[in-house]
Amino acid sequence: MIPFSAIIPNFLGHTLTTPRFNLHMFKMLGQGAYGVVYLAHNTSNVGSQPDPPLYAIKCLLKHKKDTLLGATQQRELAIHKSVSHHPNVVTLHEVIEDEHYIFLVMDYCSGGDLFGAIVDRDTYDHNDSAIKRSFLQMLDAMEACHSLGVFHRDLKPENILCSADNSQVYIADFGLATKNSISSTIGCGSSTYMSPESLGYVNGGAPFSTATSDVWALGIILINMITGRVPWRNAIPDRDAAFRNYLREGASYLYNILPISREVAKLLSRVLKFDPASRMTIPELRKAIMKVETFRDTAAQFSFLDIGESFLTNPIMKISFDFRKPTPSTASIVALRPSRVEQCSSNPGLSLNAVNLEEFPLPPPLARENSDSDTDTESEGPATPVTRVQDPEIQVPDDLQLDEPRVQEHSPKLKYDLPGLRQKKEVVIKLWTSLSAGYGPRVQRPVQKMVNAVQRVRALA
């Protein structure tokens, strides 16, 4: 399906003028499925300021408010506006609307996102103070959001932005946020950071707490910051061997497979509880983080290096392997970390012997979650139209079902006449292929059934 951003005109070089701002957009920062983000400087007081302040301008297609997309869009603006006063939430300064587009004027975070801080800049590598400082800021921001009845539902490193010196982090992107403390929407978010209940694997997909799902995502982000890896791809027991091992072994599994301290392994086992009712709350998590002395394991030094072929390194020995070959056994990993045997034997809460020696997958490396389709296409368009300022004080009912993806209302319908069925075979196959590529799995199944039915009729003829 063509992303909305592909049909947004190129506003690079144009200026947005309001009573408060005179924003010249001089650089494109990026684009995703729904919009394009520009870097702009405010030239309204350029004479009195040698360095005009910078802002991030997010351009979106404007949808009619009486449609599902329009209601979702207005909800995002209203929710973001309601929490943007917090120092660790990206500030939404102004919403500028015209007939066809919406421009969000936000703070520009020159440090990029948390993913870049973890993977590209090694900001948190063996840096306990930086981990604690940034994670406490996230907890403060999310506690404030929850107190205002706002639940993010898409917390991940890509949606957390950083200051230039990485001393401050800011929660961003409230596109999937909700005011509902209890949700029945399954599959809303980015899979690696979604809790089992939000994936439909607790109580048969029963309604669940959105607050505890945010806590789960924070736990995964903490692992990202400490190790640069994710503990599993998704929290689905019958699909992910690593997650099955964790459910069986708990803190022991996390301690054995990740370079984290014993106290952090225990803490994470309380954050990542399969039962959401027994999961730590944000205030409890904050107190526990304050008490952590070290996040990394200091007894055994090893790291994962992703350079085509992966290596486990240790001052004692080194094992190399290719991801196309079987991963090292637990015995091999334990051999790299002999000091852990003694530590675990003296700590009944952490055990090496309990770990399954046959099923011990390595934790996957941290990778960007591409929940949105990206495009590199830029389209030419008219100059920036006349704009008007509008404060997004929008009332969207909490019980409005805005989260379920829907197939386009006017999906193509195919009609067949039996006498000409043989001649229509190629048309059927081509149209089915185009539908499958354009509309995704929700359309593939009925179209496939239709094609199967046509083939059965042909067989009878």
pLDDT band at 326 (very low <50, low <70, confident <90, very high): very low
| Structural Rg of the chain based on CA atoms | 25
- 413 lies in some domain: no
Query: What is the reported pLDDT for 404?
Result: 37
What count of other Cβ atoms lies within 10 Å of the Cβ of residue 72? 16
Q: 119 and 242 share a domain?
A: yes
Report whether pLDDT(135) > 50. yes
Query: What is the reported pLDDT for 299?
Result: 61
- 32 lies in some domain: yes
48-52, 152-156, 229-233, 348-352: the lowest-pLDDT one: 348-352
Q: 125 and 24 share a domain?
A: no
Q: 289 and 145 share a domain?
A: yes
Mean pLDDT over each residue of the chain, to the nearest integer: 74
Query: What is the reported pLDDT for 445?
Result: 53
113, 154, 173, 214: the active-site residue: 154
Nearest Cα neighbor of 103 from 177, 24, 2 is 24
pLDDT band at 305 (very low <50, low <70, confident <90, very high): very low
What is d(CA 180, CA 427) in angstroms, rounded to the nearest whole number? 46
Query: What Cα–Cα distance (Å) separates residue 386 from each residue in 47, 98, 389, 417?
Result: 25, 7, 10, 53
What string of DSSP letters covers 270-285?
HHT-SSGGGSPPHHHH
Q: Name the residue range of residue 36's domain.
A: 4-107+374-389
Please report, for the chain, how many H helices and E strands are present, in that order. Answer: 12, 14
Query: What is the reported pLDDT for 322?
Result: 29
What string of DSSP letters covers 122-137?
-TTTT-HHHHHHHHHH
Residue with more model confidence, 75 or 426: 75
- The predicted model gives 353-381 an average pLDDT of 47
Query: What is the reported pLDDT for 33?
Result: 77
Chosen domain end from 267, 299, 331: 299
Q: 120 and 22 share a domain?
A: no
- 319 lies in some domain: no
CB-based contact 40:28 (threshold 8 Å): no
What count of other Cβ atoms lies within 10 Å of the Cβ of residue 371? 15
Most confident of the following: 68-77, 300-309, 327-336? 68-77
Chosen domain end from 299, 321, 353: 299
Q: 98 and 119 share a domain?
A: no
Q: 183 and 266 share a domain?
A: yes
Report whether pLDDT(207) > 70. yes
Q: For residue range 440-451, list pLDDT tens digits in order.
A: 444 445 556 665
What is d(CA 308, CA 72) in angstroms, rounded to the nearest whole number? 41
* Structural domain count of the chain: 3
Percent of the chain exceeding pLDDT 70 equals: 64
- 335 lies in some domain: no
Report whether pLDDT(235) > 60. yes
- Residue 97 pairs with which residues in a beta bridge? 102, 388
Residue position matching structure tokens 């109580």: 203
CATH number, domain with residue 22: 3.30.200.20
- Residue 16 pairs with which residues in a beta bridge? 23
Query: What is the reported pLDDT for 5?
Result: 74
- The predicted model gives 135-141 an average pLDDT of 98
Query: What is the reported pLDDT for 425?
Result: 40
Q: For residue range 246-265, list pLDDT tens digits in order.
A: 999 999 999 999 999 999 99
Query: What is the reported pLDDT for 318?
Result: 27
Query: What Cα–Cα distance (Å) separates residue 217 from each residue in 193, 224, 292, 369, 406?
Result: 5, 11, 19, 13, 26
Q: 61 and 94 share a domain?
A: yes
Query: What is the reported pLDDT for 284?
Result: 97
- The predicted model gives 276-284 an average pLDDT of 96
Query: What is the reported pLDDT for 34?
Result: 81
What is d(CA 197, CA 183) in angstroms, rounded to the nearest whole number? 10
Q: 94 and 123 share a domain?
A: no
3-state secondary structure of 179: coil
- 78 lies in some domain: yes
Residue with more model confidence, 101 or 371: 101
CATH number, domain with residue 272: 1.10.510.10
Chosen domain end from 249, 265, 299: 299
pLDDT band at 459 (very low <50, low <70, confident <90, very high): low
- Residue 58 in marked binding region: yes
- At a CB cut-off of 8 Å and minimum separation 6, what does 339 contact? 299, 300
For 255, the enclosing helix (H) or strand (E) is helix 251-257
What string of DSSP letters covers 371-428?
-S------B--PPPPP-EE--------TT----S----TT-------GGGTGGGHHHH
Tokens standing for residue 10: 């190129």
- The predicted model gives 29-35 an average pLDDT of 84
Q: 381 and 276 share a domain?
A: no
- 323 lies in some domain: no
Q: 261 and 132 share a domain?
A: yes
Report whether pLDDT(427) > 50. no
Percent of the chain exceeding pLDDT 90 equals: 54
- 295 lies in some domain: yes
Report whether pLDDT(105) > 90. yes
- 261 lies in some domain: yes
Q: 101 and 118 share a domain?
A: no
Residue with more model confidence, 370 or 232: 232
Report whether pLDDT(392) > 80. no
398 has catalytic annotation = no
Q: 134 and 239 share a domain?
A: yes
